Amino acid sequence: MPERDYASKRAFGGTPEPRGRVEGNVDPGLAPPGERFVVQQHHATRLHFDLRLEMMNGDLPVLVSWAVPKNLPMKKGESHLAVHVEDHPIEYETFSGTIPAGNYGAGEVRIFDHGTYELLEQEPAKVTFRLNGRRLKGVWHLILPNDGGRDWLLFLREDERPPRDELPDMVPMLATLEREPFDDDRFLFEMKWDGVRALAAFTDQTLFLSRNQRDITATYPELASLHDRVVALEAVVDGEIVAIHAGRPSFERLQSRINLSDEKEIARAAKTIPVTFIVFDLLYLDGRSLISLAVEERKRLLAEIIVPSEKIVVSEGEVGAGTALFDVAASARLEGIVAKRLGSPYRPGKRTREWIKIKTLYDAELVVGGWTAGTGSRSSAFGALLLGAYDGDELRFVGLVGTGFDERALGDMLTRLRNLETDEAPFADPAGISAGRFGKPIKNPHWVRPELVCKVEFREVTSGVRLRAPSFKGLIHDADPRDCTIEGLEELMNP
């Protein structure tokens, strides 16, 4: 039996937990059952789950409680430790919130599941019960191996959850570009985050997939335990991995982490350039596909299951006021905003006008077709990259980018360029390639096979489909060069 009672462990002036009424602790193998149960996810010094079954102490209903470090087992044959702790007042059934530092059990508490239960078997050292909750549906055994001890073992006897829905396609939904911000009460507006798009699958571990379904989990080891911050048995979410610098996402800093493969280099980078996962959509939850639900309902459910930390946060949205949010994004030098039509489903891999992106600065993924010789301090590297986009089967030249490189990026890029160098120009009209506003031809360009794709930020697209004030943001390692097309740039041309 627990050595102390509920009230003696708590200073109620410093904790929001309910005071309630508890009179000692009852024997779970003997006390008459009630009807209710709750399982709470408790982010204390160590994450654990609290199983609480309503039982009667005379005429007083209380919550007989066990701390379960690994949550209730969901596979037959597994046994999980369940430590019998003090009875809690019945009011604790609805408690969710923050227990402040310095108090017993300090940390975040969330309701993992609640509902009714049925006591099927009750002995001094054995309790068998059926849970009927939102997530937990089945029959479990609680067994006390050593009479008089606190350490019980918890087993699953029968999993009674309904059949699971199929997982949706693990491909992110895409947004259509618009030039100007707008206000519209039919849309939810949120920030556009400048990072690496990723879908995350949370079970008893964390898995990250890139937009092309490449496993990128090992690249970001500091995010490996994010499943502990998710109030769910399983969930699939959509979001952006970002590196925050000076209060805003920096794709340039993130770029130095994207192509790392050496385990020691990754570990060092995780300390010097830590990342955060910003989550903005929920596709799958506890066996149910949510992609047909309205975006606002998916966002509501998403906010319920994420316990925020410095490693994971939920992107908030606001209905109607797109212009004001765009101004905030512009003043904060953020990438832009995204408008999502209320009532719209999630469409994996599709680009529709149900999601609209409006950027403070534009960017594009473009093909590297060559480079120019460097001069001055760049004489040992290169001057600028020659960029192109496909028009059908032809690669058209769209400009040069010579800014945005640090020393590491220059060295890495030069090595990649030399490995791809060729005598054959990849562009459709190499003789017509020119630099600058006066159309001067580029002298002695070096050509490469069109296999590299980079992200470039720019102010506008001028006549002839040329980039104005481009800046290199980084290589895109999982992109197909053939997906870099001229149509998107033509839409941005000044009228």
How far apart (Å, rounded) are the C-alpha atoms in residues 87 and 6? Answer: 6
What is the C-alpha to C-alpha distance for residues 23 and 87, in angstroms, rounded to an integer? 9
**Average pLDDT, whole number, for the chain?**
92
Q: How confident is the model at residue 4 (pLDDT cuts 50, 70, 90)?
A: low
The DSSP-derived string for 105-124 is: T-EEEEEEEEEEEEEEEEET
* Residue 50 pLDDT: 97
Query: Helix/strand/coil (H, E, C) string of 265-331?
Result: HHHHHHHHCCCEEEEEEEEEECCEECCCCCHHHHHHHHHHHECCCCCEEECCEEEECHHHHHHHHHH
Q: Does the structure show a pLDDT above 90 at 8?
A: no
Q: Superfamily for 174-360?
A: DNA ligase/mRNA capping enzyme (3.30.470.30)
**Does this chain's domain 174-360 share its CATH topology with 363-490?**
no
Element (H, E) at 46: none
E strand or H helix at 390? strand 382-391
- Domain 363-490 in CATH 2.40.50.140? The answer is yes
pLDDT tens digits for 263-277?
999 999 999 999 999
Scored b (16 or more CB within 10 A) or e, 70-93 reads ebbbbeeeeebebbbbbbbbbebb
Question: Which residue type occupies 148?
Answer: G
Q: Which of 192, 299, 359, 455 is catalytic?
A: 192
Token pair 């898995």 is found at 207
Give the tens place of pLDDT for each residue, 180-229: 999 999 999 999 998 999 999 999 999 999 988 999 999 999 999 999 99
How many residues can be counted in the chain?
Answer: 495
Closest CA to 223 of 204, 206, 210: 206
The string of pLDDT tens digits covering residues 85-124 is: 999 999 999 999 999 999 999 999 999 999 999 999 999 8
CA distance 145 to 472: 64
* pLDDT tens digit sequence for 367-424: 999 999 888 888 888 999 999 999 999 999 999 999 888 888 888 899 999 999 999 9
Q: Where are the chain's structural domains?
A: 7-159, 174-360, 363-490
Q: Is residue 53 within 8 Å of 63, Cβ to Cβ?
A: yes
Residue 443 pLDDT level (bands cut at 50, 70, 90): confident
Residues 174, 485, 338: CA angle, nearest 5 degrees: 25
417: enclosing H helix or E strand: helix 407-420
Distance (Å, rounded) from C-alpha 121 to C-alpha 139?
Answer: 11
pTM, to two decimals: 0.79
Q: Record the tokens describing residue 56, joined without a space.
A: 């009667």
Q: For residue range 332-383, what is the model confidence (pLDDT) as tens digits?
A: 888 899 999 999 999 999 999 999 999 888 889 999 999 998 888 888 889 9
Backbone angles phi and psi of 149, in degrees to 5: -85, 180
CB 140 within 8 A of CB 161: no
Instruction: For residue 3, give the 3-state DSSP assignment.
Output: coil
- Is-contact 149 1, C-beta < 8 A? no
Q: How far apart are the first and last CA of the chain?
A: 78
* Contact status, residue 171 vs residue 213, Cβ threshold 8 Å: yes
Query: Is 192 designated active site?
Result: yes
Question: What pLDDT does residue 264 have?
Answer: 93
